[in-house]
Amino acid sequence: MHSLITEEMKDQYREDGVVFLKQGLHAEWLMLIEQGLARILSDTGQTKFKFYEDRPDQFLEAVRNMEVAPEIATLIYHSPIADLIGALIDSENVWYYSDEFFIKDGGGAGRTPWHQDMPYFPIEGEQVASIWISLDPLRKEECLEMVPGSHRQTRYDGFDPMAVSNDPTKPYYGKDLPPLPDIEAEREKWNIVSWPIEPGDVIFLHPGVLHGGGPTGANGRRRAITIRLYGDDIVFAARPSSKPYAPYTPGLSQMLKPGEPLRGPWYPRLRPLPQHIRDGYM
């Protein structure tokens, strides 16, 4: 458990699904993320998804970097991130769900479309949180933006990542859930929060919360990583089979039935720190 996480923050997380923590992460962990990012960018085996195929700006996404960058694995096992999230979601057991770089570089990079993460993730439960970390100082308009409390309201379909250039609300599954509202077109109707960011500041976010990412200014740079962890009450939940789960976890639906605790080779345990990880340096 972690002393930076107060009872008020836990209440706020349950209520809003969004908590801002000023200087939650030491500069040495940021240096490790930067080293991991350099490896990811030069690793041709790691897929970098370009959000806006038709635009010159660089907006790339890379997922499950822990599996290919030892720097990110070290961060996830050994930094205070798992302790911070464990305290926030009130779970002594903490597992890794995924991590994701969102890299906006070269100036003038576009928005991350508004969405909730839960429709993409084959999970249900409350004890789950993402920590969003930017390596670069950001203006409020460039930050991650969120609608507090929306994790307790309507669950919308996802957006289709292949269609963001033309229609950032185009439904991902087009099946059981209502399509995303066009929040960007009606910003004044929504209670949107964000903050100016200094490196070291972090945002905790429930994956059911509506969120989107600010664009960067002409010379802006916004290299962010989100790390998603979960606790005891998270179970496997099926999603429409027309699309793969995000991130890809082939074989998962063959191993687990809906409602079973989310355990499997994709989801290493982080807390308590497993003995084989401890043995590596003790």
Ligand X SMILES: O=C(O)CCC(=O)C(=O)O
| Least Å from the CB of residue 3 to ligand X | 25
Work out whether 126 is an interface residue with ligand X (CB under 6 A). no
| Least Å from the CB of residue 241 to ligand X | 23
C-alpha distances out from residue 202 to 21, 26, 71, 88, 107, Å: 5, 11, 19, 13, 22
In terms of CB distance, is 19 or 144 closer to ligand X? 144
CB 43 within 8 A of CB 79: no
Phi, psi of 106, deg, nearest 5: 85, 5
In terms of CB distance, is 226 or 249 closer to ligand X? 226
In terms of CB distance, is 141 or 260 closer to ligand X? 141
Work out whether 144 is an interface residue with ligand X (CB under 6 A). yes
In terms of CB distance, is 117 or 201 closer to ligand X? 117
**Footprint (CB under 6 A) of ligand X, residues 221-250:** 224, 226
Q: x/- string (CB under 6 A) for ligand X, residues 184-213?
A: ---------------------------x-x
| Least Å from the CB of residue 59 to ligand X | 8
Task: Report the phi/psi class of residue 181: left, alpha or beta, with left for phi > 0 and alpha for psi in -120 to 50.
Answer: beta
Block residue for tokens 């890794």: 96
279's CB contacts (< 8 A; 6+ apart) are none
71's CB contacts (< 8 A; 6+ apart) are 32, 33, 35, 36, 39
In terms of CB distance, is 32 or 138 closer to ligand X? 138
Work out whether 102 is an interface residue with ligand X (CB under 6 A). yes
The single-letter code of the amino acid at 218 is A
Neighbouring C-beta atoms of residue 82, cutoff 10 Å: 24
Please pick, from the candidates 117, 126, 142, 201, the single residue that binds ligand X as defined by CB under 6 A.
117
Residue of this chain nearest to ligand X (CB atom) = 213
| Least Å from the CB of residue 151 to ligand X | 12
Dihedral sign, Cα of residue 269, residue 273, residue 278, residue 281: positive
Q: x/- string (CB under 6 A) for ligand X, residues 56-85?
A: ------------------------------
In terms of CB distance, is 55 or 278 closer to ligand X? 55
C-alpha distances out from residue 109 to 115, 214, 217, Å: 18, 9, 8
In terms of CB distance, is 86 or 158 closer to ligand X? 158
Work out whether 132 is an interface residue with ligand X (CB under 6 A). yes
Query: Could you please report the per-residue DSSP string of 142-191?
Result: GSEEEETTGGGSPPPP-B-GGGTTT-TT-BSS-SSSPPPP-GGGGGGGS-
Work out whether 130 is an interface residue with ligand X (CB under 6 A). yes
Residues that bind ligand X (CB under 6 A): 102, 112, 117, 130, 132, 144, 211, 213, 224, 226
